[in-house]
Structures are given as structure tokens and as C-alpha cells.
Amino acid sequence: METTLRGVGVSHGVAIGEVRHMGTAVLEPPAKQIPASDHGREQGRARQAVEAVAADLMARGNLAGGEAQAVLEAQAMIAQDPELMSDVDRRIVVGSTAERAVYDAFSHYRELLAGAGEYMAGRVADLDDVRNRIVARLLGVPMPGVPDSDEPYVLIARDLAPADTALLDPALVLGFVTEEGGPTSHSAILARALGVPAIVALPGAGELAEGTLVAVDGSTGEIFVDPSAEKQAELERSAAERKAALSASSGPGATSDGHKVPLLANVGGPADVPAAVEAGAEGVGLFRTEFLFLDDSAKAPSEEKQVEAYRKVLEAFPEGRVVVRVLDAGADKPLDFLTPADEPNPALGVRGLRSLLDHPEVLRTQLTALAKAAAGLPVYLEVMAPMVADRTDAKAFADACREAGLQAKFGAMVEIPSAALRARSILQEVEFLSLGTNDLAQYAFAADRQVGAVSRLQDPWQPALLDLISMSAEAAKAEGKSCGVCGEAASDPLLACVLTGLGVTSLSMGAASIPYVRATLAKYTLAQCERAASAARAADTAEDARKAAQAVLSGE
Ligand code: PEP
Ligand code: MG
């Protein structure tokens, strides 16, 4: 029997495939004492699990070949290390369960490695991975981390942290569904960047059995469990029709009467550039540079490594505009070398520009790397700071840019309500504003972006959020400066028309959304967008705002 579950659709398209769960971190097995009569059985279980994990790693190595094969074979050898195995046996004989003995033996070995010089310490992650695999097998829970699968699948996770993103293979992930996360969470942003259909805030998703066939409709937020062949065909047909209609749209973003609204791409690094170019992005409206820092949260990437990554993105848009955001660490994107470990409330703590002002050397290296990367290129470089609260913050950032000798426009993100309220004051220090509507909603509504239960308040159609956007856009107009949107609000085609009507001057979004926004914007005049914006702001709820804008635009 086909059943339907409903969440919040955050990335368009249809994905049909089998469910694979993202394994949660391995729990520490309880330290319980077993009787002597169980020792032999537990030793047998431990050996079987070790052998199965080693065989699995070898098999994957054979499939992968090349460098990956060498790494996986080395991991298989770690699993079968005779010293480790005798330690496991010894621990079982004194009363540990198999899983606890493996956990403790590996922890002991881990400590030795961690203290044995830089090269050995680098192997700790491999050791942890092997331990997690063996313990997960003994506990009968899914392997931690990204699923082991050679076949494409629909990924189900509680939530996805930005650090998980590096591990996802876009060729294998058909789509994904998370239990947590609102429409502006990083799970949603990642889905758009990958261009795969996705649904967030669907609490029952974790209960779907591994291997269940599902159809995910990222446009409506529905998952069909065990869909019939007719249902699958119907969903695929309508997705194909939508895609065909879209591919007919091309060229710069504009309303039907020619009011230009540049459509820019949000990127996390050079890997996202081809999709942006293919979607016809007129530049980059948000380069989230923190993704370059997530590989190794213990230290910042070197200046040379940064220059290389920035240059690749800048070169992709000759004569285009590229807005680079300096490192936005903290809260949901902590970095060990920057983020205080003991903050009671990290989203309200030292994050974004605040971290950089506390670590001026990190900001200086980033700005110098940007200046070097842009040298000699015809690109229009713009650099902006995340989490600007007031004019003091804006001035500190602009001063740092000037000191680094950066030839670029300096801007401030409007992500904190205080910045929207005092946008004209901030604009005395910088040349443009960019609205980060994800955080702006989080802080305006006191609703954590990561918490699915409050997703109603993160809805970018909330009239109070529209008011803050309108204030910022009007301030920029009065100062003769620009005000774009780079938060997820820009990727909703209908809302993009409303934002245009509110006076926003550019829209930046995940590449996959650009054709949808371009096609919708091209249907309406600027005056229609302005009327839709006024109608939306006059509503009292997000839902009524959406309906009111829709009614105006469809001429009802
Ligand atoms: C935002 O907050 O809207 C934004 C664009 O920044 P991020 O999503 O990376 O926090
Ligand atoms: Mg933000």
C-alpha cells in the first residue's frame, strides 16, 4: 500500500530510489560484565566482525582502485592487526562484551598513535573509522557516516552538517530527506547546491526501513513510500515537463518590461562553478568561503591554497561580478581554531565577522589571498562580511579591506535585525548590502535554523521578514547603493518577484534554482511585482502573504 509523508520541499525535482540512512555517530557501548561462560562466544563475535569489516574494506578497495584502494587496504590491515586482536581477546577474558572490548582496545591504541608524532596522529581518523565500523556491526546498527553503497540511493538523515557535505558523492545521492532542519538550514542549501531533490523537517523519515523504495518530490515536499509503477511514471512525467519548460528560458534576469535583476549563483568553492555557468548565472552573489576551511578545522588553509581556490572561481566569470564572503565560522559551522568551545549559545556568540575581528590575522590572510587572486583579472570583485551588527562592525571590516590593499567593493550582509533597522548608518561605511535572509529570519523570529519544529517561523514569506527586507532595500536606494538577496528566499520563484517589488537589486541562489526564478520573473512587469510585494506585506501570516502575492500576479 502506497503511503505519503509530507515535509518541507526545499529543492525541486523527483528522485526515485531505495532508502539508505546516514549512520549516527557510534555510541559508546555500555561497560557491562559478562560471565566466563560467554567469553568464547564473545571472542568469536569480535573475530567475525573484524573479518567481515576487513573483507568489506578490501572489496571496496578493489572496486575503487588507485589511491583509494591503498587507503582502504591499509584500513583493512588496521582492523586485523594481531596486537589489537589480542588486546580485544584479553579484555573479553576479564569480562567485557565484544563491542566494549573492541571500543576500549581501539581507544587505547588511539591514544598511543595520537601522541606519536604528526604522521601517526594523522592516522587516528582511519583508526576511528575502522573501530566505528566494527562496533556498528557488533551492535547491529547502520555504519556511521555516509552510507556504504555502490548503487544510487535516497539519503535519509537526521540532519546534515556542512562537514558531511564533503563526503557525499553527487553521483550516488539521488535526493535526500532530513528529519530536522528548516528551509534555510545547511541541509537545504546543500541540496540546492547538489541540484538534487530534497525535503527537510520530516520527523517520521528516520523510521523508513533501509532499502524501502521511495519517490521524493522536492517541489511539493511529499515522499511516496512504495510508489506504484503508475505513480512513478506520473511523477517522472511531470518533473520532465517542468524541466523542459524551464530549459526554454535563458539570458539575464529581468521582468517582462525589461527591469534588470541580475541572477547570481551561491557557491561554496570551485566545484560549484560549472553548474553555475551552465545555469547561466551572471556572476556569483555569495561565495561561502568557509567551505574551504572545513577540511581541517584545526587551522586555516594557507594563503597559497586560498589564492588558488579564489582564482578558479574568479576566472570563471570574466567581466562578471563575484561577491566573496569572508569566513563565516561559528554556530553551525564551528572551526576549532576560531570558535570558542564553551559558548552557552553559539548562534548568539562569537561567530561570523566577530570571530574575524578577534583573529585579525585570519582575516588579513584571507583578504590578501583575495587581492592576489583577483590581480590582473577583469572581474568585478566585491567582498562582504557576514553578521554585521552595526556601523562599528562595518567600519572595522572596511578598514581591514583597505589595509590589505584590496581593489574591490566592500559590503555588509544584513543578517541581524539591527543591521536592517540601521541600514543607512551601515551604508556610510560600505558600498553595498546583501540580505542573508536565512539568518535574518533566525534572529528576527528567535527561531533556530537547525530546528525543524520551528520551521513555520523561518518561512521567508513571513511579513515581518519582508518588512526588514523592504527597509534595507529602501535605505540602499536612498544612498544610491545596491541591495541584493543571497539567502534562500531568493530561490523561491514567486518570492523572487516579491523581492524585486520590494526594491532588491539582485538575487543570488543555488545554481539549480536560477532557471526557475528567471522563467517566473520574466512573466511579470515591475509594477506587478511591486503590487505583489505590497499585498504580501499587508498580510498577517506567511501563508496569506504567499497567497496574496500569487493572487496579484495571476490577476485574480
Ligand atoms: C544567510 O544567512 O541568509 C546566508 C546567506 O548565510 P548562510 O546561510 O551561509 O548563513
Ligand atoms: Mg548567514
Return the CATH number at 393. Answer: 3.20.20.60
Give me ligand 1 centre to Cα 139, in Å. Answer: 38
Expressed in angstroms and rounded, the spacing between residue 39 Cα and the centre of ligand 2 is 54
The verdict on 274 and 224 lying in the same domain is no
CB 282 near ligand 1, within 6 Å: no
Q: Which atom of ligand 1 is nearest to the CA of 290?
A: 9
Is the CB–ligand 1 distance for residue 144 below 6 Å?
Answer: no
Domain C-terminal end among 87, 106, 139: 139
Asked whether 286 lines ligand 1 (CB < 6 A), one says yes
Residue 49 lies in a domain: yes
CA distance 238 to 300: 46
How many Cα neighbours within 13 Å face the side chain of 32? 8
Domain shared by 50 and 123, yes or no: yes
Bridge-partner residues for 380, per DSSP? 321
Q: What does the pLDDT read at residue 68?
A: 60
With a CB cutoff of 8 Å and minimum separation 6, the contacts of 146 are 22, 155, 164, 167, 168, 169
- The rounded distance, in Å, linking the Cα atoms of 205 and 177 is 7
User: Same structural domain for residues 472 and 517?
Assistant: yes
**Phi, psi angle pair for 169, to nearest 5°:** -95, 110
Query: Same domain, yes or no, for 441 and 310?
Result: yes
For residue 330, being part of any structural domain is answered with yes
What spacing in Å lies between the alpha carbon of 385 and ligand 1's midpoint? 11
Cβ(486) – ligand 1 distance below 6 Å: yes
Same domain, 179 and 95: no
Same domain, 381 and 453: yes
Report the nearest-CA residue for atom 8 of ligand 1.
438
- The tens-digit pLDDT sequence of the chain (556 residues) is 678 898 888 888 899 999 999 877 666 898 889 999 999 999 999 999 999 989 988 887 777 666 567 767 887 888 888 989 999 999 999 999 999 999 999 988 888 777 766 556 556 667 777 888 899 889 888 777 778 788 999 999 888 765 565 567 778 999 989 988 777 777 777 777 777 899 988 988 989 998 999 999 988 889 999 999 999 998 888 778 777 767 767 899 999 999 999 999 999 999 889 889 989 999 999 999 988 887 776 788 999 999 999 999 999 998 889 999 999 999 888 888 888 888 999 999 999 999 999 999 999 999 999 999 999 999 899 999 999 999 999 999 999 999 999 999 999 999 999 999 999 999 999 999 999 999 999 999 999 988 888 888 999 999 999 999 999 999 999 999 999 999 999 999 999 999 999 999 999 999 888 998 999 999 999 999 999 999 999 999 999 999 999 999 988 6
Q: Which residues, 6 or more positions from 366, have their beta carbon under 8 angstroms from its beta carbon? A: 289, 300, 306, 326, 327, 356
Q: Ligand 1, from 10, 415, 492: best to mutate by most atoms within 8 Å of Cβ? A: 415
330 lines ligand 1 (CB under 6 A): no
- State the CB neighbour count (10 A cutoff) for residue 402: 11
- Report pLDDT for 150: 82
What CATH number corresponds to the domain at position 171? 3.50.30.10
Whether 219 is in a domain gets the answer yes
CA-closest candidate to residue 219, choices 18, 492, 514? 492
Residue at 553 is within a domain: no
Nearest to 162 by CA among 323, 334, 285, 325: 334
Our answer on whether the CB atom of 438 is closer than 6 Å to any ligand 1 atom is: yes
494 and 350 housed in the same domain: yes
Does the CB atom of residue 439 touch ligand 1 within 6 A? yes
Domain assignment of residue 445, yes or no: yes
Cross-strand pairs, 325: 288, 384
β-bridge partners, 200: 8
Q: How far is the CA of 383 from the centre of ligand 1 (A)?
A: 15
Burial (CB count <10 Å: 0-12, 13-18, 19+), residue 461: buried
CATH of the domain at 65: 1.10.274.10
CA of 339 to the centre of ligand 1 (A): 18
Do residue 123 and residue 19 come from a single domain?
no
For atom 10 of ligand 1, the residue with the nearest CA is 439
Any atom of ligand 1 within 6 Å of the Cβ of 436 = yes
Taking the centre of ligand 1 as the mean of its atom positions, its distance from the CA of residue 438, in whole angstroms, is: 5
Of 89, 106, 139, the domain-final residue? 139
Tell me the three cell numbers of residue 256: 517582462
Residue 156 lies in a domain: yes
Helix (H, G, I), strand (E, B) or coil at 30: coil
Residue 383: its H or E element: strand 380-385
**Could you give the residue numbers annotated as active site?**
186, 486
DSSP state of 295: T
| Residue 8: inside a domain | yes
Kindly state whether residues 131 and 152 are assigned to the same domain. Answer: no
Q: How many distinct structural domains can be found in the chain?
A: 3
Ligand minimally distant from the alpha carbon of residue 485: 1
CA of 443 to the centre of ligand 1 (A): 12
Ion ligand 2 neighbours, Cβ < 5 Å: 415, 436, 439
Distance, CA of 420 to chain centre:
25
Distance CA 246, CA 251 (A): 12
Q: Which of 123, 139, 155 corresponds to the end of one domain?
A: 139
Residues 275 and 128 in one domain: no
364, 488: one domain: yes
Among 288, 294, 443, 506, the mutation site with the greatest number of ligand 1 atoms within 8 A of its Cβ is 288
For residue 126, the enclosing domain spans 36-139
Q: Is residue 450 part of a domain?
A: yes
| Residue pair 225/154 in contact by the 8 Å Cβ criterion | no
Indicate which atom in ligand 1 lies nearest the CA of residue 438: 3
Same domain, 117 and 262: no
Residue 412 CA, chain-centre distance (Å), reads 21
d(CA 144, CA 157): 11
DSSP secondary structure string for all residues of 480-504: T-EEEE-SGGGGSHHHHHHHHHTT-
Does ligand 1 lie within 6 Å of residue 325's CB atom? no
Closest CA to 134 of 68, 220, 45: 45
CA-derived radius of gyration, the chain: 25
